[in-house]
Amino acid sequence: MTAKAPSKVAQADTEMPSAAVANPLVQLVTRAADGDKRAWDALVERFGPLIWSICRRYRLSYADAEDVGQNVWLQLTAHLGKIRDPAALPGWLATVTRRECLRVTAAAKLPVAAGYVLDAEVLADEQSETAEQELLAAERYAALREAFATLPLPGQRLIALLLQDPPVSYAEISARLDIPVGSIGPTRRRYLDKLRCYPAVAALVTSS
């Protein structure tokens, strides 16, 4: 599911509150609206998993999920410069994706139930709890990826080994990274503390 970066879009017709400028997501949306391709690519990478997860819940085929994703990103391209609250973008994407999925499933069922129109709003309300969970999971995943990228390379290697399934023994980690077994635990705690203190992660922890 890919999406082309939008050309420079019209500026929003309202100014963002100054306090919102510090929000990394607000910064990404603002830069993407100004035609910054890197910011647009970051948005696609960050929220692509959210769109895919909703498509999977509707059991769409790969081709249909691709079409839904393209339509969602195209709609965002058209509205990006008009978004009054950039921090609400994840919810907007989830809502548009659900509606696109409903459109696809409704079209597939038309020959069987001609004239039957799905009430997208009612179905969206019924599944809002699941959508909120998906949204939170996507936000956590994106925040952790950002935080992980800020760790030094030794820290990334250590955390990656500790998260492997099946688990890697401390002895093997010691051999691979050339560090004492006794230092693995304290080093792990230090890097995990850095991840927890990363602004995007800390914000999610505070709000949960």
pLDDT tens digits along 161-208: 999 888 899 999 999 999 999 999 999 999 999 998 887 777 666 555
What pLDDT, on a 0 to 100 scale, did the predictor assign at position 144? 82
What pLDDT, on a 0 to 100 scale, did the predictor assign at position 21? 44
- Helix H, strand E, coil C: the string for the chain is CCCCCCCCCCCCCCCCCHHHHHCHHHHHHHHHHCCCHHHHHHHHHHHHHHHHHHHHHCCCCHHHHHHHHHHHHHHHHHHHHHCCCHHHHHHHHHHHHHHHHHHHHHHHHCCCCCCCCCCHHHHHHHCHHHHHHHHHHHHHHHHHHHHHHHCCHHHHHHHHHHCCCCCCCHHHHHHHHCCCHHHHHHHHHHHHHHHHHCHHHHHHHHHC
What pLDDT, on a 0 to 100 scale, did the predictor assign at position 118? 40
What pLDDT, on a 0 to 100 scale, did the predictor assign at position 75? 92
Question: Across residues 114-134, what is the average pLDDT?
Answer: 47
What pLDDT, on a 0 to 100 scale, did the predictor assign at position 106? 83
- Please state which of the ranges 39-43, 57-61, 81-85, 134-138 shows the lowest mean pLDDT: 134-138
Q: Which residue has the higher pLDDT, 139 or 174?
A: 174
Q: How many CB atoms sit inside 10 A of residue 147's CB? A: 19
Question: Across residues 95-108, what is the average pLDDT?
Answer: 86
Q: Which residue has the higher pLDDT, 133 or 51?
A: 51
What pLDDT, on a 0 to 100 scale, did the predictor assign at position 95? 85
- Please state which of the ranges 127-136, 149-158, 168-177 shows the lowest mean pLDDT: 127-136
What pLDDT, on a 0 to 100 scale, did the predictor assign at position 199? 79
What pLDDT, on a 0 to 100 scale, did the predictor assign at position 190? 95
Residues 6 or more apart whose Cβ sits within 8 Å of residue 70: 1, 2, 3
Domain ranges of the chain: 1-142, 151-208
* pLDDT, tens only, 53-69: 888 888 888 899 999 99
